[in-house]
Amino acid sequence: MYFKAKAGQVVIVLVLLKIKAGSNFYKFRGILMKIFLSIIMFIFTFFTFALADVCDEIDGNSISSTLELENFSVISKRAVNGLCEVIIKTDNKIIPFYGNKNFLITGEMYQKGTNITAEAMYNVNKQRLVSEIRAIDDCVSFVWKPKKIKTKKILYMFTDPLCPYCNRIGKDIFNLSEKYGFVLKVIIFSVHGEKGREKSVEAICRNLKDSSFDFAAYSKDDWKQAEVLPLYKCQKGYEILEKAETLADSLAIDAVPFFVTSDGDYVSGASREDVEDLFKK
């Protein structure tokens, strides 16, 4: 009987000797097992080096030539199923590609029902968010603390005063903050055009002028539906909003609500369950 494994141009044939049961069987079985395991390790090592070579062939020059792209940076490279997964950043967008030095294709790779690409993209974005926590802190407009702080993990919420989904989940966030004991920090930026920007500036200026206008007051509907008073148009408010908009753009956050914890885990959308899962990890 024989076992045959093919890796590239190498063919390994393992001949398993047929040995009759008897006094020599156990002696030779141990030897055969050692040989078998050694060959398995060789195959594994060969494939590891073969896959690594796929990514070794890909560099900035080959990517630029293949994609006809000049302004980009390589975020990560790894061998996946015989191809090199290359994730690049260009114009504040993170894009995954698969291929080798001769071609690159974009899309998502699945294996056994798992979206391998989504996992890779999540990890890349998580690292980016962690590296920008200080910048995120600089854009915070509101800080909400529970009655008892139970964790050092902080939740950052990107929101827009005119976003109905944000306003709806706001009440759930209060309850989750009390349940898990986390501090909430709110970053305001608008996805609703000029009117949204004006209400965003108003929210920031209201808080700067009167600390009693906290996130609980912000979450109420009355001020959001009223016209913006000149009293709540301040230069500092515009500066904070512009800084938040620049940060959101650099992090490719283009929808609200968006939640991220101080350790980089994140979720986009207005699902209480998804936000709660961030504190179950």
The pTM for the full model equals 0.77
Domain with CATH 3.40.30.10 in the chain: 133-277
Count the alpha carbons within 13 Å of 118 in the hemisphere toward its beta carbon. Answer: 6
* Residue given tokens 């030779």 in the structure block: 28
Q: Long-range CB contacts (< 8 A, 24+ apart) of 128-134?
A: 128/94, 128/251, 129/251, 129/260, 129/264, 129/266, 130/263, 130/264, 132/247, 132/250, 132/251, 133/262
Which DSSP helix (H) or strand (E) runs through 163?
Answer: none
Give the tokens for residue 81: 């199923």
Residues 147-194: pLDDT tens digits?
999 999 999 999 999 999 999 999 899 999 999 999 999 999 999 999
Mean pLDDT value of segment 119-125: 96
Domain with CATH 3.10.450 in the chain: 60-128
Bond prior to 164 in cis (omega within 30° of 0): no
Residue 171's pLDDT is what?
Answer: 87
Higher pLDDT, 199 or 28: 199
Domain boundaries 60-128, CATH class: alpha beta
Residues 226-237: pLDDT tens digits?
999 899 999 999
State which amino acid sits at residue 221. D
CA dist., res. 180 & res. 153, Å (int): 10
The domain defined by 133-277 folds into Glutaredoxin (3.40.30)
